[in-house]
Amino acid sequence: MKDYPSVTPPVITEAETPYWPYKRDEQRLARRWAFPGTPGLEHRIGGLEKDNNGNVSSDPIVHERMVKERADKVAKLAEFIPEQQVIGEDSGDVLIIGWGGTFGHLYTAVKQLQSEGKKVSLAHFDYIFPLPKNTADIFSKFKKLIVCELNSGQFADYLRARHQQFNYLQCNKVQGQPFIVKEIVDAVNAIL
């Protein structure tokens, strides 16, 4: 925990007139916090959409604005997450792409393929929503991209939606079992 920056929420302690509990700051898109019961800072909290003064609203314009604000907040996270790393060379013939619990098998397959002289690297994602901001730059440096997943290809579909300029090949296993390294090696050899 010592490696993480301290979190200092934007707390307001004195009443303002007017007080806008749902107004967000431009940079972080965060609201200021007011502790319950603070005189002059009373407001409603809950999952319903509200206008800036805290009143529950079913206004379609407020709903549209809130949908955009939520999307902007998620997109802004890309400024705070680390850039995606590549294991192996930064460019080559094949980039193996994975996420979640596939790391060990993919890493071992990459090392085996590299020992055979193949120009193969690995991008194993820890952050997928949003994707790291250097994702497209990494993908652009490889001739072929193969997404290896222990499902029917949800991450590959997501990548296609986010970065449509690339062609994604797939190696999927949907048997409730982990990859066998040979399966990945065979899939990569088949596209080389």
Per-residue pLDDT tens digits for 114-163:
999 999 999 999 999 999 999 999 999 999 999 999 999 999 999 999 99
Per-residue pLDDT tens digits for 19-66:
888 888 888 788 888 888 888 888 877 777 887 777 888 889 988 988
Find the mean pLDDT for residues 80-84: 95
Residue 17 pLDDT greater than 90, yes or no: no
What are the residues whose beta carbons fall under 8 Å from the beta carbon of 167, sequence distance 6 or more? 144, 145
Here the tokens at position 36 are 């319950």
Instruction: Give whole-number Cα distances, 28 to 21, 52, 76, 175, in Å.
Output: 15, 16, 8, 42
Output the pLDDT for position 50. Answer: 80
Output the pLDDT for position 187. Answer: 98
Output the pLDDT for position 56. Answer: 86
Output the pLDDT for position 104. Answer: 98
Find the mean pLDDT for residues 103-109: 98
- Sketch the domain layout of the chain as residue ranges: 1-80, 92-191
Q: At what angle do helices 103-115 and 181-191 cross, to 10 degrees?
A: 50
Find the mean pLDDT for residues 7-15: 86
Output the pLDDT for position 87. Answer: 98
What are the residues whose beta carbons fall under 8 Å from the beta carbon of 1, sequence distance 6 or more? none
Q: Which top CATH class is 92-191?
A: alpha beta
Beta-bridge mates of residue 94: 120, 144
